[in-house]
A = this chain, B = another copy of it.
Amino acid sequence: MTQAPKDIDALIDLMARLPGLGPRSARRAVLHLIKKRGQLLNPLAQALTTVGETARECLNCGNIGTSDICGICESEKRNIGQICVVEDVADLWAMERSGIFKGRYHVLGGTLSALDDIGPDELRIPKLRDRVTTEHVTEVILALGATIDGQTTAHYIADELQGVQVTTLAQGVPVGGELDYLDDGTISAALNARKAL
Contact = CB atoms under 8 A, between A and B. Distances in A.
Interface of A: 1-5, 7-8, 10-11, 14-15, 17-21, 24-25, 27-34, 37, 40-45, 47-52, 54-55, 64-66, 71, 88-90, 92-93, 96-97, 180-181
Given A49-B45, A93-B2, A64 B29 contact: no
Given A4-B64, A10-B47, A52 B37 contact: yes
Contact of A18 (B29, B43, B65): B29
A179 B54 CA distance: 42
Given A2-B97, A52-B45, A40 B17 contact: yes
Given A32-B18, A51-B41, A3 B97 contact: yes
Contacts of A88: 31
A129 to B, nearest CB: 24
B14 A43 contact: yes
A41 B31 contact: no
**Copies of this chain held together in the complex:** 2
Given A7-B55, A14-B44, A48-B41, A31 B71 contact: no
A31 B20 CA distance: 13
A114 to B, nearest CB: 22
Contact of A20 (B14, B21, B64, B71): B21
A47 B97 contact: no
B15 A71 contact: no
Nearest to A25: B20
A31 to B, nearest CB: 5
B64 A48 contact: no
